[in-house]
Chains A and B, each alone.
Chain A
Amino acid sequence: MAQKSAASLNPETHLLLDQPLLRLPHEVLRKVFKSSQKYVEQDSKKISDLAREAASKANNGASPDASLAAINTMITRMQGLKRKMETQHEEEKLVHSQLRKRTTHLNDLYSLTSLLDDGYGKWSKVRLDRLLVDYMLRNGYSESAKRLAHEKDIEGLVDINVFLQCWSIEESLRQKSTVECLAWCQDNKNALKKIKSTLEFELRLQQYIELVRSRKLSEAVIYARRHLSGNFDSHKDDFHRASCMLAFPPERPGPYKDLYAESRWDHLVKTFVTTHHNLYNIPQGPLLHVALSAGLSALKTPSCHSTLPSSRSNTASSVTSLCPICSTELNDLAIHVPYGHHTTSWVEHDLVVLPNGRVYGTRRLEDLASKLGLAAGKVKDPVTAEEWDSEEVRKVFIS
Chain B
Amino acid sequence: MDAIEKELDRLVGKANLSNSLKDIDGCLELLMAARATIEADSSTAGATLSSLETQLKAGFDQTNDSLKEVYTGLNKYGKALDKKFKPVSMSDYDVLSTHQPLINRAIGMHLLREGNFDIAETFIAEADLAATIPPTLESDFRDMYRIKEALRVRDLGPAIEWAANRREQLEARGSNLEFELHRLQYVVYLFGGGEDGPRKALEYSRREFLPFQQKYLTEISKLAGALLWREKMPNSPYAELLNSGAAWSAVADSFTSEFCSLLNLAAESPLYVAATAGAIALPTLLKMTSIMKEKKTEWTSRNELPVEIPLPDRYKFHSIFVCPVSKEQTTDLNPPMMIPCGHVLAKDSLQKLSRSGNRFKCPYCPADSLPKDAREIYL
| A14-22, A189-197, A205-213, A245-253 - the one binding chain B | A14-22
Chain B positions within 8 Å of A288 at CB level: 103, 275
Asked if B318 and A298 sit within 8 Å, CB to CB, the answer is: no
Asked if B300 and A338 sit within 8 Å, CB to CB, the answer is: yes
CB distance from A373 to the nearest CB of B (A): 4
Do A345 and B322 form a contact, CB below 8 Å, given A14-B279, A296-B274, A397-B343? yes
Chain A residue with Cβ nearest B212:
A373
Contact with A along B290-317 (1 / 0, CB 8 A): 0000000001101111111111111111
Q: Does A23 contact B (CB under 8 A)?
A: yes
Distance, CA A281 to CA B286, complexed state (A): 19
Distance, CA A55 to CA B44, complexed state (A): 11
Asked if A294 and B278 sit within 8 Å, CB to CB, the answer is: yes
Contact with B along A107-140 (1 / 0, CB 8 A): 1001000011000000011011001100110011
Chain A positions within 8 Å of B316 at CB level: 346
CB distance from B173 to the nearest CB of A (A): 5
Q: Does B240 contact A (CB under 8 A)?
A: no
Asked if B110 and A33 sit within 8 Å, CB to CB, the answer is: no
Chain B residue with Cβ nearest A15:
B85
Q: Does B184 contact A (CB under 8 A)?
A: no
Distance, CA A154 to CA B332, complexed state (A): 44
Distance, CA A284 to CA B93, complexed state (A): 12
Q: Does A321 contact B (CB under 8 A)?
A: yes
Chain B positions within 8 Å of A398 at CB level: 321, 336, 344
Q: Does A37 contact B (CB under 8 A)?
A: yes
Asked if B278 and A291 sit within 8 Å, CB to CB, the answer is: yes
Contact with B along A26-70 (1 / 0, CB 8 A): 100110110011001000100110011011001100101001101
Q: What number of A residues sit within 8 Å (CB to CB) of B?
A: 153
Asked if B280 and A115 sit within 8 Å, CB to CB, the answer is: yes
Do A58 and B49 form a contact, CB below 8 Å, given A115-B280, A144-B123? yes
Asked if A302 and B332 sit within 8 Å, CB to CB, the answer is: yes
CB distance from A160 to the nearest CB of B (A): 14
Asked if B308 and A19 sit within 8 Å, CB to CB, the answer is: no
Q: Does A218 contact B (CB under 8 A)?
A: no
CB distance from A338 to the nearest CB of B (A): 5
Q: Does B126 contact A (CB under 8 A)?
A: yes
Q: Does A86 contact B (CB under 8 A)?
A: yes
Q: Does A339 contact B (CB under 8 A)?
A: yes
| B114-122, B143-151, B221-229 - the one binding chain A | B114-122
Distance, CA A326 to CA B270, complexed state (A): 9
Q: Does A237 contact B (CB under 8 A)?
A: no
Asked if B31 and A75 sit within 8 Å, CB to CB, the answer is: yes
Q: Does A307 contact B (CB under 8 A)?
A: yes
Distance, CA A96 to CA B299, complexed state (A): 40
Distance, CA A359 to CA B342, complexed state (A): 12
Asked if B174 and A295 sit within 8 Å, CB to CB, the answer is: no
CB distance from A51 to the nearest CB of B (A): 4
Q: Does A263 contact B (CB under 8 A)?
A: no
Distance, CA A143 to CA B122, complexed state (A): 7
Asked if B378 and A26 sit within 8 Å, CB to CB, the answer is: no
Chain A residue with Cβ nearest B258:
A318
Distance, CA A346 to CA B314, complexed state (A): 13
Give 12 A-B pairs besides A89-B18, A371-B176, A396-B338 with Cβ atoms closer than 8 angstroms.
A36-B17, A44-B63, A48-B56, A89-B16, A294-B277, A303-B379, A317-B173, A318-B170, A333-B102, A337-B95, A356-B378, A373-B214
Q: Does A330 contact B (CB under 8 A)?
A: yes
Contact of A86 among B5, B21, B303 (CB under 8 A): B21
Chain A residue with Cβ nearest B286:
A16
Distance, CA A96 to CA B14, complexed state (A): 12
Interface, chain B (partner A; CB < 8 A): 1, 4-5, 8, 11-12, 16-18, 20-21, 24-25, 27-28, 31-32, 34-35, 38-39, 42, 45-46, 49-50, 52-53, 56-57, 60, 63-64, 67, 70-71, 74, 77-78, 81, 84-85, 87-88, 90-91, 93-97, 99-100, 102-103, 105-107, 109-111, 116, 118-119, 122-123, 126-127, 134, 170-177, 214-216, 257-258, 260-262, 264-283, 285-286, 299-300, 302-322, 324, 327, 329-332, 336, 338, 342-344, 364, 375-379
Do A395 and B342 form a contact, CB below 8 Å, given A48-B53, A99-B8? yes
Asked if B272 and A125 sit within 8 Å, CB to CB, the answer is: yes
11 A-B pairs (CB sep. < 8 Å): A22-B4, A72-B35, A103-B4, A292-B275, A302-B330, A324-B317, A328-B265, A329-B271, A338-B302, A340-B308, A397-B364
Q: Does A279 contact B (CB under 8 A)?
A: no
Do A143 and B126 form a contact, CB below 8 Å, given A40-B20, A294-B281, A373-B215? yes
Asked if A37 and B67 sit within 8 Å, CB to CB, the answer is: yes
Do A283 and B91 form a contact, CB below 8 Å, given A17-B279, A313-B318? yes
Asked if B282 and A294 sit within 8 Å, CB to CB, the answer is: yes
| A4-12, A170-178, A254-262 - the one binding chain B | A4-12
Asked if A5 and B310 sit within 8 Å, CB to CB, the answer is: yes
Asked if B38 and A295 sit within 8 Å, CB to CB, the answer is: no
Chain B positions within 8 Å of A99 at CB level: 8, 11
Q: Does A312 contact B (CB under 8 A)?
A: yes
Do A141 and B123 form a contact, CB below 8 Å, given A96-B12, A116-B312, A342-B322? yes
Contact of A75 among B4, B35, B134, B171 (CB under 8 A): B35
Chain A positions within 8 Å of B116 at CB level: 148, 151
Asked if B306 and A341 sit within 8 Å, CB to CB, the answer is: yes
Contact of B95 among A132, A323, A336, A346 (CB under 8 A): A336
Distance, CA A395 to CA B332, complexed state (A): 22
Distance, CA A26 to CA B261, complexed state (A): 46
Distance, CA A30 to CA B67, complexed state (A): 12
Asked if B378 and A333 sit within 8 Å, CB to CB, the answer is: no
Chain A positions within 8 Å of B171 at CB level: 372
CB distance from B271 to the nearest CB of A (A): 6
